[in-house]
Structure 1
Amino acid sequence: MTRTPPPAETARRSAAPSPGAGPTAWVGLQFALTGLVWGSSFLFMKVALEGISPGQVVWSRLVLGALTLGIFVALRRDRLPRVPRVWLHMAVLAVSFCVAPFLLFSWAQQHVTSGLASIYNATTPIMTAIMASLLFRVERPTRAQIAGIIVGILGVMVLVAPWRGLSPDESLLAQAAILGATACYGFSLAYMRRFVAHSGMSAPMFSFLNIGIAALVMLVLTPLVAAGPVALDPWIGASILLLGCLGTGVAYIWNQNAVRAWGPTRASTVTYLTPVVGVALGIAVLAEPLSWNEPAGALVVFLGILLAQNRLRFGRGARSAP
């Protein structure tokens, strides 16, 4: 949401930084936890879709996420913003960052595997860089960040293994829908920096308004998107709770802290972790076979993250990361 200066400078410039947006090590831990939780979310969605519809999945995760974030805000006694313009921007983000991409992902996962969905989600940094630099003109990626994005995409390609061809039951329309969802994420991350960077909201309040307004939208749309039969069992129920309270609740606070400390493009590289987690869960939970390209792709993806976050430097200009 700001330039990409060292975290200390970002914290000084933030209007109301969250306590979690401080030391680099703590932000890095939240970054990793977000990748783990969001990588698991694709499995949660896949399991939940066995008992409820795509619209009901989105309805449940947003309502549960809003309730969870509301508890954090109440405990912190954060105040709601009083500027009408901030509410308007948050309404835009509620649709572009939550309602639209969540519906696209939930619908698409009826036709593609959770692992493939998590892999396509790794295109978010590319979408963010495009939106931030070309549409909103709020960020100019460094050479290291550009190299990291390219390397990360190469890692994703190794995971996808296009030389083996795609399974015939994986809908191309569903894959296009997922790319549309990541485009929504890229738009939203750049929009956050352009219009709400100095709104004065803490990370919990920002996340609460984002998810809360989106939940209100889904409540209004209940007859259209969430009506229908429901078949629950312990696994489906647990998946819905984890997807809502953790994946759409706590993880959004962690992500906001990373965005504030590192900027939208670098923070969006969290999606490079999601295919690694998604593939691992596919092996452990769904008993999918392990091919050589999966661990190889994971290593390339991690290299992309290090480059995109300026953790690796080469040549005479090599120096430690900030």
Structure 2
Amino acid sequence: MRKNAGFNGLILCFLLPLLSCSRADLKLGFYYQSCPNAEKIVFDYVEKHIPHAPTLAAPLLRMHFHDCFGCDGSVLINSTVKNRAEKAAVPNLTLRGFDFIDEIKGLVEEECPGVVSCADILALTARDAVAVIGGPYWNVPTGRRDGLISNMVEALNNIPAPTFNLSTLQKSFASKGLDAHDLVLLSGAHTIGIGHCQFFSNRLYNFTGKLDEDPSLDPLYAANLKKYKCKTPTDTTIVEMDPGSFRTFDLGYYKLLLKRRGIFQSDAALTTTGATKAKIEQLVYGLLEVFFNEFGRSMEKLGRVEVKTGEEGEIRRHCAVVN
């Protein structure tokens, strides 16, 4: 699969809207001359370490997603006395894997100082981590530059919240050039994801302010969550989004949605209209390979959102600090 990446990437550029491939100077093998071993260094590190920590694949993928509501590595920057960075935004407080990215960046810097961006390293690492645990593999055109600004409020305003309904989700995605099809496909990453009780406990304990449950959530599943996981409204326990196969990139998440067992309101929202629900049903009753291919295409599209290229931004020497 890897050796055909260049050819497949060219095909994708013809299949995707013209804007997606012409809006930025991203290309497969961008570092072929300037740092020919860059992608191999990333993959080798991921292949060595992720099998010993397979649950890290989901956080790395989530980090890439949060960064890609403007793919410029800004989610990696630390806060300072004068600036509260994206890491300080509520959606990013539960992100992890920053040390993993820093380790890879250090190895790449040893090979080619000041050449490969943190934004590209994050995009490549997320893809490789998913592939190593048996998930889909997608093309990652490179050439991103690192942003100079990381702002907590901007992240809070841009990253879709787990409380969003379908209309709000679609508007959020559309603002980044992503459609309802991408929304359904990218949500499939939740098959290896986890959630924290505090982000959906209102659905269990106080949905409308009357100490009631969300009627769109399967009552048996809600009872199970309250008994074993989210035992109080303020519980911070971790819950697998695809219980039983949360370490396997499969169709389990979509099957749970059809059973009304998505833990976030944003998950349940995907079944509230005919179009998005029909797409979920198509995936559930289709081949896993089809899901992998479609997920990969949406991930490549996501990876092009508001990238910086050419002379924009910089190539950060340390991912957590602007040069």
* TM-score, normalising length: structure 1: 0.28
Indicate the structure with greater helix content. Answer: 1
* TM-score, normalising length: structure 2: 0.28
Q: Which has the higher contact order (CA 8 A, sep 6+)?
A: 1
